[in-house]
Structure 1
Amino acid sequence: MSLDSNPPSSSRPGTAVAVRRRRLSYARKRQIFLALLAAPAIAYVLAIAVWPMAQGIFYSFEEYSLVRPAGRHFVGLDNYIALWSDKTARQALINTFIFTIGAVGIEFVCGLGIALLLWRDDLFNRIALGLLLIPATVTPLVVGLIFKAMLNADYGVLGYFLAEAGISGPRGLLANPALALPTLIAVDVWEWTPLMALILLAGLKSLPTDILEAAQVDGATNAQRFGMIILPLLLPAAFLALVLRMMDAFRVFDIIYVSTSGGPGDATTTLMIHGVKQGLEFFNIGRASAVSNLITICIGVMAAGFIVLVKPARNRNA
């Protein structure tokens, strides 16, 4: 009677092992399925981003010219040392930092002001925001060509009157070594301030209204609310806007290439322009790869600097 009612004790461990095996098999199949779903994206990133970047790192340590491909050999850090000793490369680095800091700084201040003006959600502000985003929808190449024509001293809509007034000189703003880079900064500000304003406006609209209303009830002025509540809470959106624009501005190419090609002289030559000239005009792949890696390093250092500056403020607000 007892043998018929109770199964053998030896069969229970076997059953548990079989169930465990089935569970592990299902988990393994799920992992394989998810890996197969991600495989195309991973392969794309490896082929388009990681592999060219790895090649660029290897090439930067070699003397590699397409004019003499058979003379390719390892030179260590010579390409990076040559960049530092090259006057054009040093000027390009200075111009790049001036362009990035000037353009991003002005865009942030103007974008924050526009975002504050458009903070109220009404019909007029929605229409104004839609019209404001038009410059950001135009490709930088077209923007450079348009402003090159507008600033031409002979027939430009703006350049002719600036030349007649003696502000730009007889050849225009873009041909003036002292004014060419500030002019390009102004063009970049015109195009990308709306994007900065849009990111900051999204951050403003996500702020908790109860805190602002409580501060207003307590008698806080607009300046106090802005400095003590709005600006600290806006730090995540500001960090995102600054990092995105900094990365894009530091590798600026389109606007400068079609408007001045780095001239007059080296007045508007940036690291990206210098790297493209090294690779596509002089066919010096090793030197061009060193310039590309230098751009990547500078962007990484600047992004890390933003994190170091913003993180303590966020911790205090938390």
Structure 2
Amino acid sequence: MGVRKLKVESGALKYYLFIPTLAILIFMTVVPLAFSLITSFTGYKATENGSFAFNGIDNFVRAWGDTNIRAAFWNTLTFVFFSVGIEFVLGMALAVLLNRQVRGITFIRTFLLLPMMVTPVAVGLLWRWMFNTDYGLINYFAGAWFGSDPINWLGEHIYAMPVVILVDVWQWTPFVVLSLLAGLQSLSSEPYEAGNIDGASAWQIYRYITLPQLKSVILVVLLIRTIDSFKSFDVVWILTNGGPGVSTELFSSQIYRIAFKFWETGYASAVSWIFLIVVMVITSLFIRFLYREDVV
């Protein structure tokens, strides 16, 4: 009887031990989400203690007609599309090139990962200095080699977004390379041997053998980078502060500006939930597209 009771208590013990972790998880995720959802239906401002006046869907209606929110939405889509797309193309090409055993390849792989190890704030400061109009290295070499006049890279609409995308590509392409390279090195060699025996070209082997086997890895990499790009804030804020005008204003920086510059907490919460819904819809469509049987 005592042994049976001990077994029952031991079996229940693991659930009791899980309670503190579950409580912390709820406190750190569910409670803030619930609070922000409730706040999004109010006119609450952080500078006005206790002013939780319910205003229905006024915040969401306001966001729908806010030109700054619309600009941030399209800027974010542009930033995510080009940065993730370029990172994937470059990452795949570099992963294929690095997936071979030659002398010094380990050093090259390690060196390639350095940008990913730098904090986003440091990356922003570094590239802001390099693109500085008066004493930046980019203008210096452009003037020395091509004799061109100094360009205000971060202060003109036509250049600001491409520069922001370039910096993001520089920092996060190594992550794509590392992930895809790990996937390539885990592939079985038998299909490649069969393809070579059948006389398949290098492109056919890549198209019909490599890509199908890497499908799940590609999905995970693109999903992670897409979600992470939607949340980008540090580098963009340091480089351009959302400018010039609103040409590089992303959803994340717009939410920050509403919440901590104008202190409209309720409105910021509503915009945050719109942002969350947009990301969820886009990533869901993205997953469905990549899981189609005819994608590769």
Q: TM-score range by the shorter chain?
A: over 0.9
8 Å Cα contact 1:153/1:160 also seen in 2: no
Letter in 1 for 2:204: Q
Structure 2 equivalent of residue 239 of structure 1: 219
Once the 2 structures are TM-superposed, how far is the Cα of residue 258 of structure 1 from its aligned partner? 1.0
8 Å Cα contact 1:232/1:313 also seen in 2: no
Structure 2 equivalent of residue 212 of structure 1: 192
Once the 2 structures are TM-superposed, how far is the Cα of residue 243 of structure 1 from its aligned partner? 0.6
8 Å Cα contact 1:63/1:74 also seen in 2: yes
* 1:260-312, Cα deviation, whole Å (9 max, x unpaired): 11111101100100000111110100111112212221221122112211223
Letter in 2 for 1:184: V
1:148 aligns with 2:125: no
Letter in 2 for 1:222: A
1:262 aligns with 2:242: yes
8 Å Cα contact 2:83/2:168 also seen in 1: yes
Once the 2 structures are TM-superposed, how far is the Cα of residue 70 of structure 1 from its aligned partner? 4.5
Once the 2 structures are TM-superposed, how far is the Cα of residue 153 of structure 1 from its aligned partner? 0.9
1:54 aligns with 2:54: no
Structure 2 equivalent of residue 310 of structure 1: 290
Please give the alpha-carbon distance, in whole angstroms, between the structure 1 residues aligned to 2:267 and 2:48: 14
Please give the alpha-carbon distance, in whole angstroms, between the structure 2 residues aligned to 1:163 and 1:182: 20
Structure 1 equivalent of residue 230 of structure 2: 250
Q: 1:159 to 1:37 in 2, by over 3 A?
A: farther
SS of the aligned residue for 1:266 comes to: coil
Structure 2 equivalent of residue 9 of structure 1: none
Structure 1 equivalent of residue 169 of structure 2: 189
Aligned match of 2:119 in 135, 139, 144?
Answer: 139
Structure 1 equivalent of residue 62 of structure 2: 82
Q: 1:69 to 1:224 in 2, by over 3 A?
A: same
Letter in 2 for 1:284: E
Structure 2 equivalent of residue 14 of structure 1: none
8 Å Cα contact 1:112/1:197 also seen in 2: yes
Please give the alpha-carbon distance, in whole angstroms, between the structure 2 residues aligned to 1:170 and 1:75: 51
The answer to which structure, 1 or 2, has the higher relative contact order (CA under 8 A, 6+ apart) is 2
Structure 2 equivalent of residue 5 of structure 1: none
Structure 1 equivalent of residue 252 of structure 2: 272
Unaligned runs of 5+ in 2: none
Structure 2 equivalent of residue 65 of structure 1: 45
1:17-56 equivalence runs, <5 A: 23=4, 25-26=5-6, 28-56=8-36
8 Å Cα contact 1:175/1:263 also seen in 2: yes
SS of the aligned residue for 1:229 comes to: helix
8 Å Cα contact 2:39/2:52 also seen in 1: no
Structure 2 equivalent of residue 223 of structure 1: 203
TM-score normalised according to structure 2 size: 0.93
Structure 1 equivalent of residue 158 of structure 2: 178
8 Å Cα contact 2:139/2:150 also seen in 1: no
Q: 1:27 to 1:304 in 2, by over 3 A?
A: farther
Once the 2 structures are TM-superposed, how far is the Cα of residue 26 of structure 1 from its aligned partner? 4.8
Letter in 2 for 1:256: V
Q: 1:125 to 1:48 in 2, by over 3 A?
A: same
Identical positions, percent: 35
Segment of structure 1 superposing worse, 217-226 or 117-126 = 117-126
Q: 1:231 to 1:172 in 2, by over 3 A?
A: same
Once the 2 structures are TM-superposed, how far is the Cα of residue 204 of structure 1 from its aligned partner? 0.8
Aligned match of 1:294 in 254, 260, 274?
Answer: 274
8 Å Cα contact 2:40/2:266 also seen in 1: yes
Please give the alpha-carbon distance, in whole angstroms, between the structure 2 residues aligned to 1:135 and 1:221: 34
SS of the aligned residue for 1:257 comes to: helix
SS of the aligned residue for 1:100 comes to: helix
TM-score normalised according to structure 1 size: 0.87
SS of the aligned residue for 1:158 comes to: helix
Segment of structure 1 superposing worse, 304-313 or 183-192 = 304-313
Segment of structure 1 superposing worse, 151-160 or 131-140 = 151-160
Once the 2 structures are TM-superposed, how far is the Cα of residue 179 of structure 1 from its aligned partner? 1.2
Please give the alpha-carbon distance, in whole angstroms, between the structure 2 residues aligned to 1:71 and 1:107: 45
Q: 1:162 to 1:83 in 2, by over 3 A?
A: farther
